[in-house]
Amino acid sequence: MARLMKRPELGAFAGVVLVTIFFGITADSSMFTLAGFMNFMSPAAQLGILAIGAALLMIGGEFDLSVGSMIAFSGLFFGACVVTLGIPLIISIPATFVFAAAVGSINGQIVLRTGLPSFIVTLAFLFILRGLSLVGLKWATGGSTQLRGVRDAVEGSFLASVFSGDAFPGLFFWLAERDLIATFKNGSPKVTGIPVEIIWFVLIALAATYVLLRTPVGNWIFASGGDADAASNSGVPVRKVKLSLFMLTACCAALVAIITVLDSGSTDARRGFQKEFEAIIAAVIGGCLLTGGYGSAIGAFFGAIIFGMVLIGLTYTQIDQDWYLVFLGGMLLIAVLFNNMIRKRVTGER
């Protein structure tokens, strides 16, 4: 128990419990049906994929404020590949990841070579990438900031079902036939499957946690963020670790871009607007210290779920939805205070 109390994700987990109790009392009971669950997990998953990338990077001692713009930018690249150039998904998807990793490595190289704070460098890229997305979309569409027709272009591709729509529809039909889950009057299930982003979200959270806690690379990430000099004196390849984390964060943004583009059938220059802040807030709620070297991927997982629950949960209540923003700020403040307290206890600072 004492050991559990020390885990960085404790705060985020407590937050999930509190929010669940809150909506258990105030919200319509349909929020906690299977359909309601999928409703709030879906945006939570999209944010969570970003938040886990952001959390790893923060533990590694760096920031990336450009992930929101990166969603739009890699969405543009992906959309242009599929629609404008007509490249099949099997090539477009890997190409988008390579492209995002390249942009992420530019971020990383600038930070590592100049020694500037990543906050400033990636803030610059927040604007640069957003601007390039606008310009690029107009160029690709001939004047519009939206690129449509993705759905027609990818019709029938197997990969489309890995990155969009619902997974395991067969299972849900099977469950519906046996009356194990809620159905419509005609007997078809109300929930036809698990939205794929939720599956990606869970898989990434598990993989990130495994890497952090059970591999040498995880130790290197903590060490690089804790004290880069001490780490490299001890033989940790700090630069390589940080560069890879920048690339990974950008790839998380690209994954979200691909999922949303395929789901909505279009890409838009405003995609991912302010997501970088939400992702960082979810990571901080999850127990990451802004100074690096401490945090957890599971924490960011819970942090993102809190977001989804509040964003969607408010629509199940009588409460004005704009309270969401108030909540966002308040939650961040509480989380930072809480983390500060934890850090002092861990390091024995007074």
Partner 1 sequence: MANEIVNMENIEKHFGNVIALAGVSFNVRSGECHCLLGDNGAGKSTFIKTMAGVHQPTRGRMFIEGTETVFDSPREAMNAGIATVYQDLAMIPLMSVTRNFFMGREPAKGKGVFKRYDTKFAAETAMKEMRKMGINLREPDQAVGTLSGGERQTVAIARAVYFGAKVLILDEPTSALGVRQTANVLKTVDGVRKQGIGVVLITHNVRHALAVGDRFTVLNRGKTLGTANRGEITLEELQDLMAGGQEMASLADSLGGTV
Question: Which residue ranges make up the site for partner 1 (CB under 8 A)?
Answer: 3, 210, 213-216, 218-220, 222-223, 226-227, 229-231, 233-236, 289, 293-294, 343, 346-349
Shortest distance in whole angstroms from residue 6 CB to partner 1: 8
Closer by beta carbon to partner 1, 170 or else 235:
235
Closer by beta carbon to partner 1, 155 or else 349:
349
Cβ contact 60:289 at 8 Å: no
Shortest distance in whole angstroms from residue 333 CB to partner 1: 22
Cβ contact 198:42 at 8 Å: yes
Shortest distance in whole angstroms from residue 229 CB to partner 1: 8
- Three-state SS string over 150-168 comes to HHHHHCCCHHHHHHCCEEC
Q: What is the largest CA-CA distance in the chain?
A: 67
Residue 133 to residue 143: CA distance in whole angstroms: 12
- Write out the E strands in the chain: 146-147, 166-167, 194-195, 267-268
Please state, as a whole number, how many other Cβ atoms lie within 10 Å of the Cβ of residue 138.
Answer: 14
Cβ contact 18:232 at 8 Å: no
Closer by beta carbon to partner 1, 222 or else 307:
222
Closer by beta carbon to partner 1, 115 or else 216:
216
Cβ contact 103:73 at 8 Å: yes
Cβ contact 71:272 at 8 Å: yes
Residue 289 to residue 219: CA distance in whole angstroms: 16
Shortest distance in whole angstroms from residue 239 CB to partner 1: 14
Tokens matching residue 170: 């067969």
Cβ contact 265:254 at 8 Å: no
Shortest distance in whole angstroms from residue 231 CB to partner 1: 7
Shortest distance in whole angstroms from residue 248 CB to partner 1: 16
Closer by beta carbon to partner 1, 228 or else 250:
228
Q: Is residue 159 exposed (0-12), middle (13-18) or buried (19+ Cβ within 10 Å)?
A: middle
Closer by beta carbon to partner 1, 101 or else 342:
342
* Three-state SS at 189: strand
Residue 342 to residue 296: CA distance in whole angstroms: 13
Shortest distance in whole angstroms from residue 217 CB to partner 1: 8
Closer by beta carbon to partner 1, 187 or else 214:
214
DSSP-derived secondary structure letter, 31: G
Shortest distance in whole angstroms from residue 259 CB to partner 1: 25
Tell me the CA distances in angstroms from 83 to 87, 101, 149, 256, 258, one per residue in order: 8, 22, 7, 18, 13
Closer by beta carbon to partner 1, 157 or else 219:
219
Closer by beta carbon to partner 1, 121 or else 208:
208
Shortest distance in whole angstroms from residue 2 CB to partner 1: 9
